[in-house]
Amino acid sequence: MLPTETVENVKGWLHSVESTGTLDGPGIRRVLFLQGCPLECLYCHNPDARPFRCGRETDSYTQLREIARNRDFLIRAGGGVTASGGEPLGQPDFVRSLFTGCREMGIHTALDTSGFLGARADERLLSVTDLVLLDIKHIRPDRYLELTGRELEPTLVFARRLAARGIPVWLRYVLVPGYTDDPEAVDGLAEFVRGLGNVERVEVLPYHKMGDWKWAELGVENRLAGTPEPTDEAVEDARGRFRRTGLPVF
């Protein structure tokens, strides 16, 4: 089952695929990790997914055929397909083709993005996107720049655009000691989220060091090598600050 008439076949580059993901959206999901990301997050767990136009070359028909084979299972599991990364909006035509095919098959779609390339998500792509998992990495522009090497503003513009369109968002926030755990910043982001009106849940994700070996393997300096994982108390404190928005927080 492959809708070929309305779906254009588009070439894409994948980092990897997870066939039964449970962390990136509702239910059990097929998660496509796209290769390439313009950010340089200090805490990146997948630095090998950052370079563009490399990784596994594929096309949307090939991926949709795989998705079609799993369609009934994904739907029964209350799940769907998530485009993650890397940064999926680095390949917006590929994602649009995938999501258009999913929509025709009745499969839920989720876009896991930092929002930095939100301007590349055109109306056709947004019209086939059921949920956005939006990572806002810091609410202060200077600290966002320090953490990611990029500007914060495009992400906020994208967040407001999603709100104006009424597209559901799950906010994700990685808690990194000394970088994102400052109470004022957490409160500031919680206030921003409260004002949007389309955020359905908040996920506070404790920074962890499980991807550190990749930095060593790539021979790239890991500037967070000396940064510890947050304590349970710090994570609960941040969750409590978001909880005051009245949203479910995980």
* Interface positions with ligand SF4 (CB under 6 A): 37, 39-41, 44, 46, 49-50, 85-87, 114
The string of DSSP codes covering 10-58 is: -EEEEEEEEEEESSSSSSSEEEEEES--S---TT-S-GGG-SSS-SEEE
Q: Report the nearest approach of ligand SF4 to the CB of residue 246 (Å).
A: 28
How big is the CA angle at 163 (ends 80 and 174), to the nearest 5 degrees? 65
Decide whether 37 or 190 has the Cβ nearer to ligand SF4. Answer: 37
Specify the residue, 107 or 176, whose C-beta has the smaller distance to ligand SF4: 176
Residues 6+ apart with CB under 8 A from 9: 59, 60, 61, 97
* Residue 148: CB minimum distance to ligand SF4, A: 6
87 or 130: CB nearest ligand SF4: 87
Residues constituting the chain: 250
Nearer to ligand SF4, 86 or 101 (CB): 86
Smallest distance, ligand SF4 to C-beta of residue 119, A? 16
Q: What is the smallest separation between the CB atom of 170 and ligand SF4, expressed in angstroms? A: 15
Q: How far is the CB of 50 from ligand SF4 (least distance, A)?
A: 6
By beta-carbon proximity to ligand SF4, the closer residue of 60 and 155 is 155
For residue 213, what are its two tokens? 């070996």
Nearest to 242 by CA among 176, 192, 178, 177: 192
Tokens of 88: 């999926």
The distance from CA 63 to its chain's CA centroid, rounded to whole angstroms, is: 19
